[in-house]
Amino acid sequence: MSIVISPSLLSADFARLAEELADIKQAGAPWVHLDIMDGLFVPNITFGPPVIRAIRKETDLFFDCHLMIAEPSRYIEDFAKAGANLITVHEEATRHISQTLTAIKSCGCKAGLSINPETPLSAVEPYLKEADLILLMSVHPGFGGQSFIDITYKIKALREMMDKAESTAYLQVDGGITADNIKTVVDAGCTCLVAGSAIFGQTDRQAAIDALMDALTKEAQ
């Protein structure tokens, strides 16, 4: 499985989202990570289906929608209709995980399951074959620009679990990813990286993505 970089729109300039999407596509990013926050599950509010629907008209990038919201199952159809390609829900916010993953897939989307830094891997272990992506948070969710929490041990352990279960899901890591730590994260078993400030916090989006890709290339040598 090739490594995917999913730039987090949370760190982008909200006044020029169409341009930001065009920039990261031109720079070679195939995905864009969309952090949906409701002010309840996390202490911040971002955007909902109307914004997703609007930017869907501007790009064909793969929409990696991360629902950091209470009762996510209530909104799956709305996000799917708005243009999501993948919908990830939090284990901590989801009552009936299997049913929710099935509901996401029935809407024509890939289904992801996420856990916060303090949540044990046992919370996702039963769903490794059901989910298309498992997301490990390496910051406490709610705000961009945070420093990476060292969860290398957790990434390695999850990689072992997934390989043992013969899971083909992506192992995604979100939070504090930079060119300095991307090698460590990929070495541990991550296959999909969310990067916000490392890309949108730089003036030159192309150079920022190139720096991450160069770090991956060096890792592979």
Any idea what the CATH number is for the domain that residue 143 is in?
3.20.20.70
Q: 112 lies in which domain range? A: 4-216
Residue 135, domain member (yes or no): yes
User: Is 176 annotated for ligand binding?
Assistant: yes
Residue 13 annotated among the catalytic residues of the structure:
no
Q: Span 167-177, mean pLDDT? A: 96
User: Is 47 annotated for ligand binding?
Assistant: no
116 and 136 in contact (C-beta within 8 Å)?
Answer: no
What six digits make up the tokens of 158? 């999850």
Residue 221, domain member (yes or no): no
Give 31-54 pLDDT, tens digit per residue: 999 999 999 999 899 999 999 999
User: Is 196 annotated for ligand binding?
Assistant: yes
Q: Span 216-220, mean pLDDT? A: 64
The band of 219, judged by pLDDT with boundaries at 50, 70 and 90, is very low
Give 124-152 pLDDT, tens digit per residue: 999 999 999 999 999 887 666 678 889 99
Residue 174 annotated among the catalytic residues of the structure:
yes
Kindly report the average pLDDT of the chain as a whole number: 94
Catalytic residue among 35, 38, 64, 132: 35
149 and 171 in contact (C-beta within 8 Å)?
Answer: no
Catalytic residue among 23, 38, 132, 174: 174
Position 130 scores a pLDDT of: 98
Residue 93, domain member (yes or no): yes
Q: How many CB atoms lie within 10 A of CB 214?
A: 12
Q: Span 167-175, mean pLDDT? A: 96
